[in-house]
A = this chain, B = another copy of it.
Amino acid sequence: MSHNTFGHLFRVTTFGESHGPALGCVIDGCPPRIPLSVEEIQADLDRRRPGQSRYTTQRQEPDQVKILSGVFADENGRQVTTGTPIALVIENVDQRSKDYGDIKDKYRPGHADFTYDVKYGIRDYRGGGRSSARETAARVAAGAVARKVVPGLVVRGALVQMGPHKIDRNNWDWDEVARNPFFCPDAKAAAFFADYLDGIRKSGSSIGAVIEVVAEGVPPGLGAPIYGKLDSELASALMSINAVKGVEIGAGFGAAELTGEQNADEMRHGNDGKPLFLSNHAGGVLGGISTGQAVIARFAVKPTSSILTPRLTVDRRGGETDLITKGRHDPCVGIRAVPVGEAMVACVIADQFLRHRGQVGETGHWPTLA
């Protein structure tokens, strides 16, 4: 990953600011002849779209995506990828830039205002400009394409903690994720979060969260040691999401507390004669290479820094001041980070899948083991 591109063979470059004319991405290296409709991409975008409940920002963005290139009708009239760059564009519609006049010259604590100014000496201050989480719409669009690259891949995310409150993993039900506004797999926790977050929201405050992404159907062998390890790239991809402060794979930080006996995932053969792991502390990755088990990653999202309580800060001209952040914001940005996390995991796996196929070939060397 570098600058505004991530991936090596499946490469995604995003562009656009929160209040500019449009944002989007160019997906380069997508394999050809993959059926792809604008509706599929839209479906993923709709999951991330703001303004769908009182728990997310009230900015009303239809987030309608257009395909500018890279897709064409095949012999049967079906729209498929052509192997050339797929450009996707989403127009910004509901910009209330005047909300941001106040912060033109002030640095909002916890935001990237100060660091963008230090780095570039100029910034689009409207809604955070390039540093806005609005950029993640482009990632979700790219992720919708990435999901189709690896046959059988299923990537799903869920909010597993809000503030200090963790879900009960015994209640985990993937179907529940679509039924509540928190992408929460535990119906009981979701009910609790509704009240809890109402309180946060009404007080003009905000709260952090933890998200878990699970990728099933990941073929064994993906990952390019030493410095393109699957887990290393997942860490990079998830940490690049706005407001993320931590990433862990499998047992994660919990692994620090385990002994070797507890942590090692033992092996046997399954009914199909294939090697089988008896547990998954590894989170589906050993030595940076996928094991064939579910790949499991979690990431921590800090509370949005846009709150109604005044915070001390400085301005561009050397003055000291304080600031409350008006405008429309998510009281828990972690919620809408769920589809973004899924998209990033899908992009990493798609890219590793192609790189693996490049180095090792379609079939891999598994047969030589027999």
Q: Across the interface, which residues of B come within 8 angstroms of A307, CB to CB?
A: 259-261, 264
- Are B121 and A32 within 8 A (Cβ)? yes
Q: Across the interface, which residues of B come within 8 angstroms of A94, CB to CB?
A: none
What mask results when residues 109 to 142 of chain A are scored 1 for a CB within 8 Å of chain B, else 0?
A: 1111011111111111000011100010000000
| A4-B226, A32-B122, A129-B82 given; A256·B70 CB < 8 A | no
- Are B225 and A275 within 8 A (Cβ)? no
- Are A239 and B245 within 8 A (Cβ)? no
29 A/B residue pairs, CB under 8 Å, sorted by A? A2-B8, A4-B227, A5-B5, A9-B358, A16-B69, A21-B66, A21-B67, A22-B68, A32-B119, A69-B130, A72-B122, A72-B129, A74-B122, A82-B130, A83-B119, A83-B360, A206-B259, A231-B245, A246-B247, A258-B302, A261-B307, A264-B305, A264-B311, A267-B313, A267-B314, A268-B312, A278-B312, A357-B361, A362-B363
CB distance from A228 to the nearest CB of B (A): 5
Interface residues of A in 1-35 (CB under 8 A from B): 1-6, 8-9, 11, 13-17, 20-24, 26, 28-29, 31-33
CB distance from A303 to the nearest CB of B (A): 4
A158 adjacent to chain B (CB < 8 Å)? no
Q: Which single residue of chain B is at the shortest CB-CB distance from A135?
A: B226
Roughly how many angstroms separate A209 CA and B257 CA in the complex, as a whole number?
A: 7
Roughly how many angstroms separate A258 CA and B223 CA in the complex, as a whole number?
A: 34
Roughly how many angstroms separate A250 CA and B245 CA in the complex, as a whole number?
A: 7
A87 in complex: contacting residue of B16, B231, B283, B287, CB < 8 Å: B16
CB distance from A79 to the nearest CB of B (A): 11
Q: Across the interface, which residues of B come within 8 angstroms of A77, CB to CB?
A: none
Interface residues of A in 293-343 (CB under 8 A from B): 300-307, 309, 311-314, 316-318, 320, 334
Roughly how many angstroms separate A244 CA and B261 CA in the complex, as a whole number?
A: 17
- Are B210 and A253 within 8 A (Cβ)? yes
Q: Which among A32, A135, A281, A318 has the highest number of chain B CB atoms within 10 Å? A: A32
- Are B119 and A164 within 8 A (Cβ)? no
A107 adjacent to chain B (CB < 8 Å)? yes
- Are B226 and A122 within 8 A (Cβ)? no
- Are A14 and B85 within 8 A (Cβ)? yes
A355 adjacent to chain B (CB < 8 Å)? yes
Q: Which among A163, A239, A248, A313 has the highest number of chain B CB atoms within 10 Å? A: A239
Roughly how many angstroms separate A267 CA and B357 CA in the complex, as a whole number?
A: 32
Q: Which single residue of chain B is at the shortest CB-CB distance from A273?
A: B318
What mask results when residues 163 to 199 of chain A are scored 1 for a CB within 8 Å of chain B, else 0?
A: 1100000000000000000000000000000000000
Roughly how many angstroms separate A361 CA and B221 CA in the complex, as a whole number?
A: 16
Q: Across the interface, which residues of B come within 8 angstroms of A107, CB to CB?
A: 267, 275
Q: Across the interface, which residues of B come within 8 angstroms of A257, CB to CB?
A: 163-164, 208
Roughly how many angstroms separate A111 CA and B264 CA in the complex, as a whole number?
A: 8
Roughly how many angstroms separate A72 CA and B246 CA in the complex, as a whole number?
A: 32
Q: Which single residue of chain B is at the shortest CB-CB distance from A302?
A: B255
- Are B31 and A303 within 8 A (Cβ)? no
Q: Which single residue of chain B is at the shortest CB-CB distance from A367?
A: B121
A233 in complex: contacting residue of B236, B283, B314, CB < 8 Å: B236
A80 adjacent to chain B (CB < 8 Å)? yes
Interface residues of A in 202-232 (CB under 8 A from B): 205-210, 220-229, 231-232
A40 adjacent to chain B (CB < 8 Å)? no
